[in-house]
Amino acid sequence: MTKPVVAIVGRPNVGKSTIFNRIVGERVAIVEDMPGVTRDRLYNKAEWLNHEFNIIDTGGIELGDEPLLAQMRQQAEIAIDEAHVIIFLVSAKEGITAADQEVVNMLFRSKKPVVLGVNKVDNPEMRDQLYEFYGLGIGEPFPISGAHGLGLGDLLDAVVDHFPTDLEVAYGEEAIKMALIGRPNVGKSSLVNALLGEERVIVSQIPGTTRDAIDTSFTKDEQEYVVIDTAGMRKRGKVYEATEKYSVLRSLKAIDRSDVILVVINGEEGIIEQDKKIAGYAHEAGRAIVIVVNKWDALEKDHKTMQRFVEDIRQEFQFLSYAPIVFLSAKTKQRLHLLLPEVKKVSENHHLRVSTHVLNDMIMDAVAMNPTPTDKGKRLKINYVTQVAVQPPTFVFFVNEPELMHFSYRRFLENRLRATFNFEGTPIHIISRKKND
């Protein structure tokens, strides 16, 4: 399901990271009373009154040595481009500044919904200072206190009231929706163009969830595929190239809308930390994954080059041990024919459902092979196992004491599931519950 995107915009030290953490419900951004200190996650998932959405802390978009006002403008530009609703944050203690007014002018021209949050209203006496902010001309100011968590409910009520209702895009039921993610310049656009040029059977171009986004549908061997719009397929302005974190933003939105994620790596450069971060988001989202090593034609190779590259990937992406790897060149189309069969296979595995009878027989055999662990004289007892979901395959183990399900034994069970059934390309979720829950 495609989720709305909310961005928090404002000058440094108005409390963007504090409000971000309050809304998300956990400390995921570093908070310190010093401008520009945000260093951690740029976005996270959040929920308010059964509305799920993604939220961006634009303070995490670092833009080098540019002047403060220029950075604020660029961060606001990214938020305007990516968000469905914008929270504009100001400080009650400092009033309206020239920087605030500059960003307001940009937000006003964008015609995107803006909710005005006045932070640091830490006591009722400070509410008299709200009237000044009506002068910004962007609607009612909502008094909030990030430090004490006050007023966020009213602010979020206003935010969800602005959520669009037309985010879903209609595809054929059997279509496999795939997105290419990766940092800039790994060849995502070239790979999309190679796929579409190779098949030459473009069925349709489907408007995506944001202005100027286009999803492209094509058919190969009677299977419909949809390429979900991602970073390289849309306009590339200077502001977006100024930060690698911007590619994470685009990846998040593409992941939300996809069944299968192609994690694209530049074969010439090898693996860097940003590749692992972006792949981690796809893994956490529970999507089927294929690792694609592009620009394979550009490497000088011997008979062990591919083997060494596979070993490097398995070492660096240990959390993606289940994902198949395809080496190809979008430029020359070398080995391109190997990609779509892998996409189809991992999509089928992502939907795989195992009958309860077969599943419990397999678990009994696994326990006989490797008995359950004990702790302080108590042994884990697995009473019953059932699969409760697909996309990704999710299994509930009913046990006597869930806390006895140690990480190492959970990993053993996952490995046995993978060895018995074909779950290549898909994560597996294992949940342990007390028998009478």
Q: Token pair of 60, please? A: 């995490």
Q: How many residues does the chain have?
A: 437
Could you read off the pLDDT tens digit of each residue along the chain, which spans 437 residues?
578 889 898 888 888 888 988 898 865 544 444 444 333 456 778 899 889 888 888 765 555 556 666 766 776 777 777 789 999 999 998 889 888 888 888 888 888 899 999 999 888 778 777 889 998 998 899 999 988 888 999 999 999 999 987 766 666 778 999 998 887 778 887 888 888 875 433 334 444 443 345 678 888 888 999 988 664 444 444 444 445 555 566 677 778 888 999 999 988 887 777 778 778 888 888 999 999 999 998 888 888 889 999 999 998 888 899 999 999 999 899 999 999 999 999 999 999 999 999 999 999 999 999 999 998 889 999 999 999 999 999 999 999 989 999 989 999 999 999 999 989 999 999 999 997 75
Q: Token pair of 400, please? A: 């006597």
* Residue type, position 300, single letter: E
DSSP code of residue 290: E
Cα 265 from chain centroid? 17
Evaluate whether 16 touches 10 at the Cβ level (below 8 Å): yes
User: Which pLDDT score, from 0 to 100, does residue 69 have?
Assistant: 67
User: Which pLDDT score, from 0 to 100, does residue 153 have?
Assistant: 93
Domains of the chain by start residue, with CATH: 5-161 (3.40.50.300), 176-350 (3.40.50.300), 356-434 (3.30.300.20)
User: Which pLDDT score, from 0 to 100, does residue 367 have?
Assistant: 94
User: Which pLDDT score, from 0 to 100, does residue 229 have?
Assistant: 64
H or E, element range at 365 = helix 356-369
User: Which pLDDT score, from 0 to 100, does residue 108 have?
Assistant: 84
Residues making up the binding site for GTP: 10-17, 57-61, 119-122, 182-189, 229-233, 294-297
Query: Is the bond preceding 392 in cis, omega lying within 30 degrees of 0?
Result: yes
Evaluate whether 8 touches 89 at the Cβ level (below 8 Å): yes
CB under 8 Å to 82, separation ≥6 — which residues? Answer: 5, 7, 56, 210, 249, 250, 253
Residues making up the binding site: 10-17, 57-61, 119-122, 182-189, 229-233, 294-297
Which DSSP string do the residues of 321-338 spell out, in sequence order? TTS-EEE--TTT-TTGGG
Cα 14 from chain centroid? 26
For the CA atoms of 181, 185, 190, 191, the dihedral, rounded to the nearest 10 degrees, stands at -30
State the pTM of this model.
0.72
State the Cα–Cα distance between residues 139 and 45, nearest whole angstrom. Answer: 26
User: Which pLDDT score, from 0 to 100, does residue 123 have?
Assistant: 82
